[in-house]
A and B are shown apart, each in its own frame.
Chain A
Amino acid sequence: MSITKAAPPGPGPSDTEVRGDEANGGATGERQGWQFSSPLVLTMLLILVVALQGPIRRAVSEPVMQSWMTVFVAVVVQALPFLVLGVLLSAMLAVFVPPSFFVRALPSRPALAVPVAGMAGAVLPGCECASVPVAGALVRRGVAPAAALAFLLSAPAINPIVLTATAIAFPGRPEMVVARFVASLLVACVMGWLWQRLGRTDWLRPPAHPSDEGLGKGAAFWNSVRHDVMHAGGFLVVGAMAAATLKSVVPASWLGLAADNPVVSVLALAVLAVLLSICSEADAFVAASLTQFSLTARLAFLVVGPMIDLKLFAMQTATFGRGFALRFAPATFVMAIASAVLVGAVLL
């Protein structure tokens, strides 16, 4: 699609020929005759955008477009460093840690490996963007998917940085930190066990990873970094666009209507957490400011957000395949709400 768009506006008689050929090429996946290599397309795209920068700047000078772009750029600039961190970790796991390490480190019975992996999530200092590539690398290294998924869900929610931020955002309410920890770990373990009982390996179809065979360690390492950044980064952009649209187009006053009914308020904040796609290190502050909602509803916001949101869904699709994400995301969403309500009823 981008290839066709990037075709020069009118380079002469060959124009139509190129477009027609490109359409055929896209359909069959096999390109012949006129070749459009991606460096050429990229070069033309760069030249085109630089040449048209005046009209582009004018087009985005409306306040709503400006605020959309600011939020869009902000989500990308904020999430990319954590994504890079996760990608580096995952590349190190993939290249320098032998598979036998995980066999020894995790209990051989998956039922036990799930909670151990869930607790291990506490040591990954970062937000959800870092945990997706790491969990992907764990699966490729032969870790039981159930355990890797427990790690994927728990890591962004129960690490020390996130819990500290929660304590700061809710001063004088340490039970909020405890509730977040307990509820998140509970969801992670339950989802791990669920996968172990019901999950089928053919749902888990990670897109082909470039094979490292025959490559040196350095080449394999950078190959993995490049592939993961390009892949997950593209999906991160999709998520950032969705979050920016919500933030700058949907009026915040809609939320006020939902706050009065206890059931609706929990659902509303859970959906909001999915749509906003805020980094798990910052969501506690947003939750703290939603003062019109009950503490249980805000707990649901804090439990759902790090486990499933638009950005994460896109990145999970990239790492584990669409069939997986379509089943895993709704199940996680329901489990997270149930766990938050349960823990909220006991602790808050």
Chain B
Amino acid sequence: MNRQAQAVVLFLVGGAMTHAGSTDLYLRYVKAGLQPMVVGAGVVLMTAALATAWYEWKHSKSASGKEVHAEGHGTGTGAGHGIGTGTGTDVHDQEVHVHREPRVSWLLVLPLFALILVAPPALGSYSALRTGTALQAPLAYPPLPSGDPVRLSLVDYAGRAAYDHGRSLGGRRIAITGFVALDGKGTPYLVRMALNCCAADAQPVKVGLTGRIPPVLQPDTWLELTGTYTGRRTKDPVNKGIIPFFDITEAKPVPVPRDPYDESWNN
């Protein structure tokens, strides 16, 4: 890949990063705290691309003064090629030092296409069922906020239900949000992926469902469930972690939240 093409790839990758960082797209892949880094990196990459193009242009302008440059190369693709070789003067001035740009750079177009054309969704039920529940004992059980039903994060509910036997829940009506996952036997779970840095380390926290389960459940649909604590629990077949249950009284579909991951463990 010559320097012009590199400048184009750098600019596109930088642009894609800036775009992902300045919309909510980046939240599908990394934690919210990385936003300044993602946007900053995008801007640096675009600057590097513009700088490369600028220096190439200056370089070719000064090089075109030397007639040696045009010689023997002009026939194939015309003037474009003279600039296109980029390292042209290196080749001519010192035959020994020919710096071939590595082919591996071409791979950078893959994340570019993935991010711009496909923009894959946040991890869903497929990953959730392959990985054991990552529920850990909470450090403390602060009093519940007010409201009826009281809105809790799914991870908060699961922690209180599994490790405090629901004592701090006080029999109140609770609303939790997550996506549906159905295991091989059709057992429904409500899941939220918890994330520490990026989706590569995302791990599910699963809550089993009981009570008035909606008759039709599609995997990966987001639901807000209202209901109460139940003492029922089971073990995750993958890692023997505790999966607490939730007794549903009401279910309604909701849009995917702005940040699809639970990041409460980051702080």
Interface residues, chain A, with chain B CB atoms under 8 Å away: 1-2, 29, 33-35, 37-42, 45, 49-50, 53, 56-57, 60, 63-64, 66-67, 69-78, 80-85, 88, 165, 169, 171, 207-211, 218-219, 222-223, 225-226, 229-231, 233-235, 237-238, 240-241, 243-244, 247-248, 251-253, 255-256, 276-279, 281-283, 285-286, 288-289, 291-292, 318
Interface stretch (choices B104-112, B145-153, B155-163): B104-112
Among candidates B34, B37, B101, B111, residue contacting A73 with C-beta atoms closer than 8 Å: B111
Which A residues touch B134, using CB under 8 A?
A: 289
A-B contacts, 10 listed (Cβ < 8 Å): A56-B118, A63-B126, A67-B123, A80-B38, A84-B40, A222-B55, A230-B1, A230-B10, A248-B130, A256-B239
Interface stretch (choices B41-49, B208-216, B223-231): B41-49
Is B258 among interface residues, defined by CB-CB distance under 8 A?
A: no
Determine whether the beta carbon of A34 is less than 8 Å from that of B26.
no
Determine whether the beta carbon of B2 is less than 8 Å from that of A38.
yes
Report whether over half of chain B's contact residues are helix, strand or loop; otherwise say mixed. helix
Minimum distance in angstroms from A80 CB to a CB of chain B: 6
Is B22 among interface residues, defined by CB-CB distance under 8 A?
A: no
Q: Which interface residue of B44, B120, B238 has the most chain A CB atoms within 10 A? A: B120
Interface residues, chain B, with chain A CB atoms under 8 Å away: 1-10, 13, 17, 20, 26, 28-30, 34, 37-38, 40-41, 44-45, 48-49, 51-52, 55, 76-77, 80-81, 84-85, 90, 97, 99-111, 113-115, 117-118, 120-127, 130-132, 134, 136, 139, 196-201, 203, 237-241, 265
Minimum distance in angstroms from B38 CB to a CB of chain A: 6
Nearest 3 A/B pairs, CB to CB: A282-B197, A234-B104, A74-B199
Which B residues touch A289, using CB under 8 A?
A: 134, 136, 203
How many angstroms from the CA of A68 to the CA of B53 in the assembled complex?
34
Determine whether the beta carbon of A281 is less than 8 Å from that of B120.
no
Determine whether the beta carbon of A222 is less than 8 Å from that of B51.
yes
Among candidates B8, B34, B203, residue contacting A78 with C-beta atoms closer than 8 Å: B34
How many angstroms from the CA of A42 to the CA of B107 in the assembled complex?
12
How many angstroms from the CA of A56 to the CA of B114 in the assembled complex?
10
Which B residues touch A241, using CB under 8 A?
A: 110
**Known contacts being A35-B81, A56-B118, A230-B10, is A67 close to B126, with CB within 8 Å?**
yes
Among candidates B99, B108, B123, B237, residue contacting A237 with C-beta atoms closer than 8 Å: B108
Q: Which interface residue of A33, A218, A279 has the most chain B CB atoms within 10 A? A: A279
Which A residues touch B8, using CB under 8 A?
A: 39, 42
Minimum distance in angstroms from A13 CB to a CB of chain B: 18
Report whether over half of chain A's contact residues are helix, strand or loop; otherwise say mixed. helix
Determine whether the beta carbon of B97 is less than 8 Å from that of A211.
yes
Which B residues touch A253, using CB under 8 A?
A: 132, 237-239
Output the nearest chain B residue to A127 by Cβ-Cβ distance: B197
Determine whether the beta carbon of A77 is less than 8 Å from that of B29.
yes
Minimum distance in angstroms from B138 CB to a CB of chain A: 10
How many angstroms from the CA of A211 to the CA of B99 in the assembled complex?
9
Determine whether the beta carbon of A38 is less than 8 Å from that of B200.
no
**Known contacts being A41-B5, A223-B55, A282-B196, is A80 close to B105, with CB within 8 Å?**
no
**Known contacts being A234-B106, A289-B136, is A77 close to B124, with CB within 8 Å?**
no
Determine whether the beta carbon of A234 is less than 8 Å from that of B77.
no
Determine whether the beta carbon of A70 is less than 8 Å from that of B55.
no
Minimum distance in angstroms from B94 CB to a CB of chain A: 9
How many angstroms from the CA of A76 to the CA of B126 in the assembled complex?
21
Which B residues touch A67, using CB under 8 A?
A: 123-124, 126-127
For the complex with contacts A211-B99, A234-B108, A292-B240, 11 further pairs of A-B residues with Cβ separation under 8 Å are A2-B106, A34-B76, A42-B9, A69-B114, A70-B121, A70-B199, A71-B199, A73-B199, A225-B48, A230-B105, A231-B105
Which B residues touch A75, using CB under 8 A?
A: 198, 200
Q: Which interface residue of A69, A234, A277, A288 has the most chain B CB atoms within 10 A? A: A234
How many angstroms from the CA of A88 to the CA of B48 in the assembled complex?
10
Minimum distance in angstroms from A51 CB to a CB of chain B: 11
